Amino acid sequence: MCRNKAGGGRRCKRHQGEYRKSYDRAMYAAHISEVSFAPLLKEITLPTSPPPVVKVPFSEEISWSTVTEAVENARVLLADPRPRITKNDDGEWVVTEHGWAVEAAVTHAGELVKKAIDLNAEEDVLRIVTEAQEREDPSDDYEFTIERDRLINEASTWGEKYEEMVCPVELQRDRYNTARQLDVDSEETRITSEQLMKMYEEQEQYSTAQMKAEHELDLMVSDYRKVEKNIMWARKAATTRVLSRIRPLGLEGEQEIILHEITDESMKEVVRPAVRHFPREWVQSSDECPIPLTVANTIYRAGYSHSATVITYDSGNKLITDDCDPADGEPVAVLVLNTTPAMGKTVEGIATHEFAHRCERTYTPNGSPILFELQETFLQRRTGGGPGKTTADREPLVPYEGKEEEVIRPDNFAHVYMGKEYKWESREVLSTGMEALWSGEFGGMRGNGNYHTDEDMHAFVLGVLATA
Ligand SMILES: [Zn+2]
């Protein structure tokens, strides 16, 4: 590993104290994975891919059959007709013993799917990391944090030096002004003027150094965010590869999702890429739903309405409305999408989020709103509930961003919105989770940007995608 640069190696980081931890970690990972994970690699590497170079470390030995067994086990439990969740006399959802077992099996399957994805992505991730190292950019959180703190510290040191000069410069300026008032051409005026210019220069140097460090910091952060993003794309591709081996995603071949004829062509384009992230059965359930789907644009907040109406005027013009007697028109469901998204959001992410809400309503195998039931169970477990616990044991509902009409139960989610509840059978775990998984929002649940990691929710969402 320590070949010189001319020999095709890169600078060995082992000897730089700050890099030692990540280097040792990577070497340990490579070593462990050589030993334990060959069976999984052999199974899940697609025939067209070159063989992976370095593999990811797992804390336990797994193989592809371990993944499929866990998926199968969860599916058997999901097919069991016993109720998973019931409503008590107070109108609260109560998860049955069977419901807890199902959620545990789904999340466990998701954990294994996630490991398979990480392994499948590892070769691409390693290439991205190596390229970053060759550019001498930070290539992991550890290096990034060290470099960021160093630059912040440097900028603030130069800033302090600048500040320290403020008073002496003022004093010197007074001295110079006094000398100048007494005699413009005196020796004293000349000396104080020279000293003042020197001090100005010194102060200016500190200011320049501070700006330079700040600029370097900006560039470094932006470079690292690019590395993070590329890794996210690599993992997204691996997610598609691994999930597709478990069940088909999107519709077959060139087939398109069925949308109401009122749908604008440009809005169809927005939905198409999002639909490809969903299990085929879920997408088909949207096509089979008696309430057809359409897509509308908004400059306000995106949303999904399952009870809108298309009104046709005498002129032939049509209007989609959420606010009229359905008997006056034709029932329709609407994905309302914001095609000029706020910072950090993408149109595809928004479309994916809202289509997840569509699936909550349309995908109901054996008449059960399975996606809602699983989310409610997950949320109860995460917010202080669980087998034998009651609503009183859970985190209380609190207004979301101070709005009384929207409520959340706080937990250690990547974003508080994930803990949102509605009176109807819809939650935000799947929608935000899908957005994170496929568009990298909320730090991709992997702790990118300023978000923190949520491996449990990550596993749950993958488990639902693989099994439900
Ligand atoms: Zn939502």
Q: Please provide the average confidence, as pLDDT, over all residues in the chain.
A: 85
Q: Which H or E run includes 405?
A: strand 403-408
pLDDT band of 13, cuts 50, 70, 90? very low
Q: How many whole angstroms from 269 Cα to the centroid of ligand 1?
A: 21
Q: What is the pLDDT of residues 403-450, one digit of tens each?
A: 888 999 988 899 999 999 998 999 999 999 999 999 999 999 998 888
pLDDT band of 41, cuts 50, 70, 90? very low
Core vs surface per residue 37-56: b (16+ CB within 10 A) or e: beebbeebbeeeeeebebbb
* Same domain (yes/no): 263, 318: yes
Q: How many whole angstroms from 255 Cα to the centroid of ligand 1?
A: 26
The stretch 109-128 carries a mean pLDDT of 92
Q: How many whole angstroms from 279 Cα to the centroid of ligand 1?
A: 19
Q: How many whole angstroms from 70 Cα to the centroid of ligand 1?
A: 29
Does any domain span residue 211? Answer: yes
Q: How many whole angstroms from 208 Cα to the centroid of ligand 1?
A: 47
Q: How many whole angstroms from 18 Cα to the centroid of ligand 1?
A: 42
Q: Return all residues near 95 (Cβ < 8 A) that are at least 6 apart.
A: 84, 85, 103, 376, 377, 380, 385, 387
Q: How many whole angstroms from 6 Cα to the centroid of ligand 1?
A: 54
* Same domain (yes/no): 269, 327: yes
Q: What is the pLDDT of residues 160-214, one digit of tens each?
A: 999 999 999 999 999 999 999 999 999 999 999 999 999 999 999 999 999 999 9
The stretch 279-297 carries a mean pLDDT of 95
Core vs surface per residue 242-251: b (16+ CB within 10 A) or e: bbebbbebbb
Q: How many whole angstroms from 304 Cα to the centroid of ligand 1?
A: 8
Domain boundaries, position 273: 252-363
Does any domain span residue 6? Answer: no
Q: How many whole angstroms from 335 Cα to the centroid of ligand 1?
A: 11
Does any domain span residue 238? Answer: yes
Higher pLDDT, 40 or 429: 429
**In the predicted structure, residue 53 carries a pLDDT above the cut 60:** no
Domain end, chosen from 246, 267, 300, is at 246
Domain end, chosen from 246, 279, 311, is at 246
Name the residue among 367, 372, 377 with its Cα closest to residue 95: 377
Q: How many whole angstroms from 356 Cα to the centroid of ligand 1?
A: 8
Q: How many whole angstroms from 350 Cα to the centroid of ligand 1?
A: 9
Q: How many whole angstroms from 21 Cα to the centroid of ligand 1?
A: 40
Say how far apart CA 177 and CA 179 lie, in whole Å.
Answer: 6
Q: How many whole angstroms from 117 Cα to the centroid of ligand 1?
A: 26
Domain end, chosen from 196, 212, 246, is at 246
What's the pTM value of the predicted model, to 2 decimals? 0.78
* Same domain (yes/no): 204, 226: yes
Q: How many whole angstroms from 340 Cα to the centroid of ligand 1?
A: 17
